[in-house]
Amino acid sequence: MTQPFLSIRKLRKAFGAFTAVHDVTLDIPRGEFLTFLGPSGSGKSTTLYAIAGFQDPSSGNVLLEGKSLLAVPSHKRNIGMVFQRYTLFPHLSVAENVAFPLRVRRRPEAEVKRKVADMLGLVRLESFAERLPGALSGGQQQRVALARALAYDPPILLMDEPLSALDKKLREEIQAEIRRIHRETGVTILYVTHDQEEALHLSDRIALFRDGRIEQTGTGEDLYLRPATDFVAGFIGNSNFLAAEHLETKDGASTIRLADGSLISGINANGAFSSGQKTRLMIRPEAFRLERGPTSAELAVEIVDVAFYGERRRIVARTAAGQEIDIRPTSAAMASQEATPRHRRVFFDPGAAFLFPA
């Protein structure tokens, strides 16, 4: 068995009676872009801080190429990090900020010069070398922070919500920058965010945190299309949850009865259910169709509201059981349906619906 590049083993961190991280185990191969995604307080930053050495875990271990990092103080871990707030040194120029990690390592002047030029080129800030950080915009400062964190070729780059202080347009710009830099340098990146879109855009894999545990680890597609739990389904993308009674499951395909009495079969079952068990059926808003397909299940609804959102429309509908659901057909699919009847049927592929315990 090959040794994982970075390995988090049974990590646990308690602050007094409160346990921030329960039991996190994760292997990260070299060069991967892995995102810790989760709501605030889910333990993702605490896990990152344990890797950075800012917090000692209560138990568990962090291994880099088989060697434990825990006994190594922060300044000897040789890890790069970009923080939420811009933590540039305000009294040093952009070039000296990037040079800082090399200066404390007492690298020769020629090497420092060359490396600073390389790094400023990488983040496209060559012409700002002599400015002080205070004279830069937020996005520029964060790019300098990125250059500083990469200047000493760290094997791992940690990023703690680096874009949360920036506005939307700037965020997208720097996301593209981060992807390019990951491609060009091949550095292993651990990225923390609470923004699911950011996680989906950037990462090779996502570890979804909830209450100090990892709920599911996988690619963005795994989490979106094959959520392991209703929490994952609810956190990634938009979801409708309909109350349903489980009747039977055969070969991973379940048959259920909805509150209006209709039977639907061929649903993905997440876990084992007993007959008659109360469950929740998850359907993505964009999985609904307005036209019947070859394998469609159907649902009788009353249309409450239709709004135009550019590429999609958003329909708020009410089921026979009185539950409001969210339906997002493409605007093109809707065009022929302008004269929508108030009462109608909507359709979905049972293969795109998931069953979770209530």
Footprint on this chain of other proteins (rule: CB under 8 A): 52-54, 73-81, 83, 85, 87-91, 100-101, 103-105, 145, 148-149, 152
Residue 6 CA to residue 30 CA, distance in Å, equals 7
- Among 90, 98, 156, 92, which residue's Cα sits nearest to residue 107? 98
Closer CB to other proteins, residue 87 or residue 229?
Answer: 87
CB of residue 149 to other proteins, shortest distance in Å: 8
* Closest approach of other proteins to the CB of residue 55, in Å: 11
Cβ(328)–Cβ(286) under 8 Å? yes
| Least distance between other proteins and beta carbon 6 (Å) | 16
DSSP string for residues in 188-202: EEEEEES-HHHHHHH
Q: What gap in Å lies between CA 38 and CA 194, rounded to an integer?
A: 5
Q: Residue 266, exposed/middle/buried by CB under 10 A (0-12, 13-18, 19+)? A: middle
**How far is the C-alpha of 244 from the C-alpha of 259, rounded, in Å?**
6
For the CB of residue 204, give the shortest distance to other proteins in the complex, in Å: 23
Closer to other proteins by CB, 8 or 233: give it: 8
Task: Please state the closest distance from residue 9 (CB atom) to other proteins, in A.
Answer: 22
Q: Report the residue number, 10 or 76, with the smaller CB distance to other proteins.
A: 76
In the complex, minimum distance from the CB of residue 4 to other proteins, in angstroms, rounded to a whole number = 22
* Closer residue to other proteins (CB): 158 or 334: 158
* For other proteins, the closer CB: 55 or 277: 55
Beta carbons of 125 and 144 less than 8 angstroms apart: yes
Q: Which residue lies nearer to other proteins by CB, 55 or 323?
A: 55
**Phi, psi of 224, rounded to the nearest 5 degrees:** -80, -45
